[in-house]
Amino acid sequence: MSETLAEDSPGFHEAARRNNIDKIVALGHDPWGSRFDDRLLIGDVRARSAEVQFQVENGELLPLPDFEAEEPVEYRQWKSDHGPGSEIGPKVRIAGRIMLKRPTGKLIFLNIEDWTGGIQIFIGKKQVGEANWELAQCFDLGDLVGFDGRLGRTNTGELTVFAEGLHFHSKSLEPPPDKHAGLVDVELRQRRRYLDLCYTEGVRERFLKRTKIVASVRNTLNAQGFCEIEGPTLHAIAGGAAARPFVTHHNTLDLELHMRIALELHLKRLLVGGMERVYELGRVYRNEGISPKHNPEFTMLEVYQAYGDYRSMMDLTEAIIVNAIQAIGGESKLPWGDLEIDFTAPFERRTYSELFTEQTGVDPEDESAVIELAKSLQIDVEGRHLDVVKNEIFEEKVEDSLVGPIFVIDYPASICPLTKRKAGVPHIAERFELFVHGMEIANAYTELNDPDLQEKLFKTQLAGLSDEDSMAKMDHDFVRALRNGMPPTGGLGVGIDRLVMLLTNSTSIRDVILFPLLRPEA
RNA sequence: GCCCCCCUAGCUCAACUGGCAGAGCAUCUGACUCUUAAUCAGAGGGUUGAAGGUUCGAGUCCUUCGGGGGGCACCA
């Protein structure tokens, strides 16, 4: 073609594609396309494959052979055995991205994909005419194109749209990743997620599953009479969890603000306000480390049910998860790496103290034995509350062994400042955490609604903690809200990203977050 | 914040103990009307993440920096 292409270096791919844009314009088409009505989704087109039939001379229609059968069908032979006649199939209009291109002289085979699937396109020079053929010469991998054509089968039996009309929708100026290997580099996959979605097997499906899971969670809650609300994400005091917040600033008010680290305190204010079943499903922000299980912004669900308790929340948690699995067409047993997870409800329920004894051989009520064990694990015991020490042991020795799904119930009270104590057992808090393969998925309490106790526990919790710790900032307004009467309540928090990880067999949270936080590209 | 590993063509990857930077895909040119990771013939494409250093000679060794991954720490 033009000799400028060859000598162009690194931009030679783009130069070739811009050259094709010029040709498309010269042929009277818009390289950036326009509205395209009445197209069918490729998935729906594929579902109509049975409508492709073979019509013999007397007009009789024959069904095509089964191309999925074990014995491969020689379709060319089959046709000559049943001929003379011709294939007939429905007219379809489709659009998609060009994934593969196989030009063979005066024929071009394309594979195009939309978000419901892919299909092969047959473009024959004689069949489409000179003008369309010239347009087809301008097709590059990655372009978005459309076709009017007839659904049929090639000689090898592959379901194919035999093009009659060609449409150009959008040019890709950049070459796609390797057509076989796809995008492999993890950094590129995250930075250029749009490419990952197009060209890495299973990525789009995974994120569509995420959408379905989130919708299902809302459906489950709405069906039980919970109402979704939107609390503020900018907080004067970021409370409801122990995590460092992101700090920001409002100019006109000249006010330091914090991005929320939890949804809890505002939802509870709504309970005081008489909203008896509320939830929020939204983003929270924690200025902490990044790991395969932690992204600085992540999606949290918090649910509160007046006149419920942590046991009501266990049933609800099971319903949320079981329904979500159903929503993505999963079985109760889901793959997890080389293992599987059995999500058959009800999930196992074990007390903290039972599990502690089982895994360590030490009774958590036996102070001296606990201290001895802590020392043997090189856990600092000096000047720390015994429950805190116990919990470190629990996290180290017990949590990783929890295959689950398992509800760990009845935690030591002093590590749960927002939780009601078990009636008659003041050192046990009515709390559960749901663990699956060592990962904490959900956390629930019978919520504390005694304002005096809440204030006292806030203060105790605060003693000795640094200013950076958000719990160190008492939310007086929240305590004031409680002074106006919050019903006894069950509250639940679910890490949506982690739930999606489990249900989609993803080992990194960044595989289920479309745009995880990355440093700006160098 | 600490430790380990990675960064080579648009993409996926090679290059021995330091010795001429390569392949496949993609791109360009040519052939081909049922291909399917199409095939065949030819061509072009590189600041080896960046900057310094050691060396006759650095993709390779050393230092610093940038980006990423994993682990630790942090994290109800």
For A177-219, write each residue's pLDDT tens digit.
999 989 999 999 999 999 999 999 899 999 999 999 999 999 9
- Output the pLDDT for position A376: 77
Does position A308 have pLDDT exceeding 70, yes or no?
A: yes
- Output the pLDDT for position A469: 47
Nearest Cα to Cα of residue A471 among A455, A458, A456: A458
Examine the domain organization and report whether A167 and A38 are in the same domain.
yes
Token representation of residue A202? 């299973």
Last residue of a domain, one of A160, A176, A192: A176
Does position A3 have pLDDT exceeding 60, yes or no?
A: no
For A380-406, write each residue's pLDDT tens digit.
777 677 777 788 888 888 887 888 799
- Shortest-distance nucleotide from A184 CA to C1': B12
- ipTM, two decimals: 0.91
- A411 inside domain: no
Token representation of residue A396? 């180290």
Does position A58 have pLDDT exceeding 50, yes or no?
A: yes
**Torsion, Cα of A43, A211, A498, A494 (10° steps):** -150
* Helix count and strand count (H, E) for chain A: 17, 22
Domain of residue A320, residue span: 210-346+441-511
**In DSSP terms, which residues pair with A66 in a beta bridge?**
none
- A76 inside domain: no
Q: What DSSP assignment string belongs to A7-32?
A: H--STHHHHHHHHHHHHHHHTT--TT
- A483 inside domain: yes
What is the bridge-based pairing of β-strands A277-285 and A255-259?
unpaired
- Output the pLDDT for position A2: 34
CA of A276 to C1' of B10 (A): 57
Contact present, A298 and A440 (Cβ < 8 Å)? no
Does position A421 have pLDDT exceeding 90, yes or no?
A: no
8-state DSSP, A349: E
Contact present, A385 and A414 (Cβ < 8 Å)? yes
Does position A10 have pLDDT exceeding 60, yes or no?
A: no
- A240 inside domain: yes
A463 pLDDT band, cuts 50/70/90, is low
Asked if strand B contacts A228 at the CB level, meaning under 7 A, the answer is: no
CA of A522 to C1' of B54 (A): 28
Which CATH number do you get for residue A325? 3.30.930.10
- Output the pLDDT for position A455: 84
Q: Which of residues 21-80 of A touch strand B (CB under 7 A)?
A: 76
Locus of tokens 């599987």: A340
Higher pLDDT, A436 or A373: A436
For A235-286, write each residue's pLDDT tens digit.
998 888 888 899 999 999 999 999 999 999 999 999 999 999 999 999 999 9
- Shortest-distance nucleotide from A396 CA to C1': B72
Does position A465 have pLDDT exceeding 60, yes or no?
A: no
- Output the pLDDT for position A7: 39
Total domain count for chain A?
2
Q: Alpha helices, DSSP H only, in A224-309?
A: 264-272
